Amino acid sequence: MKAYIFPGQGAQFTGMGLDLYEKSPLAQELFENANDILGFSITDVMFEGSAEDLKETKVTQPAVFLHSVILAKTLGDNFKPDVVAGHSLGELSALVANGTLSFEDGLKLVSKRALAMQKACELQPSTMAAILGLEDALVEDICAKTEGVVVAANYNCPGQLVISGDIEAINKACESMKEAGAKRALVLPVGGAFHSPLMEPAREELATAIENTLFNKPNCPIYQNVTANAVIDENNIKKNLISQLTAPVRWTQSVQQMIADGATLFTEVGPGNVLQGLVKKIDREAQTAAATFESNV
């Protein structure tokens, strides 16, 4: 069974997507369409912008989404997923790839998501931290006992869990994690507490946009971050997508469930190879690959 997986924020790099634009007329058309939808030239930032320019949330999220979705579309008949999944933002790329969302609607939702998250970040100083080398249950327990808002946010792979919350609570929790034997408790250079209750204003804003967007019957199941299970019903997909901003990304559990259901090959579609690395850490036997566009030109 073939699983196609889509990365989230953090996978961006300078010059991303330029090779697709130059080699594929379809990619060129989709990139130009994206510039019109967004109302600014995201291609300029993606192809020529600095790492700093690409870090801006309103740019990062659409850039990673566009790279993933356009790459999937240029694969043509070679793109035959049995199942799909995406990490955080990547869930929206996966939903376009499996036909649940149109390219245009997916991009509009990504743009709204990015701006809503940016606004939520400005309401309260907050951050995230990577905890390495502790059992998930222990990390959850320390979060629960720490004063303030701090929760498990990204279950990336065994021994790597990202926590999210207000700055003071994150710093306190990091100290406790180190005392409990964590190899590292590293505060991340992010602008806010994604996948935590502090994203509630963004969730409310995005919920309205999602409710007003057409969701089609998908071509294949998606394993969603919130449940880590295969979902095929578009109304459930909608509900889970709305919950996603304030709920944890259960990536470890999603990959484990896909393997249990018969997935043998995981192909990462988009910039970077972070997800391939995580899949290997979750199950050493799993096969991974990167999607590459083969130009016919």
Q: Which residues belong to the active site? A: 88, 195
Identify the bridge partners of residue 70 per DSSP, sorted by sequence position.
none
The set of residues, in sequence order, having a beta carbon less than 8 Å from that of 231 and lying 6+ positions away, is 221, 222, 223, 224, 237, 240
Residues in the chain: 297
DSSP H helical ranges for 51-166 = 51-55, 57-74, 90-97, 103-123, 136-145
The residue type at 20: L
Helix pair angle (90-97, 57-74), 10° resolution: 30
Burial class (CB in 10 A: 0-12, 13-18, 19+), 102: middle
What is the distance between the alpha carbons of residues 101 and 93, in angstroms, rounded to a whole number? Answer: 9
The answer to whether the CB of 198 falls within 8 A of the CB of 175 is: no
Q: What is the DSSP letter of 223?
A: E
The set of residues, in sequence order, having a beta carbon less than 8 Å from that of 239 and lying 6+ positions away, is none
Strand, coil or helix: 203: helix
Comparing C-alpha atoms, which of 280, 231, 286 is closest to residue 263? 286
What is the distance between the alpha carbons of residues 3 and 18, in angstroms, rounded to a whole number? Answer: 26
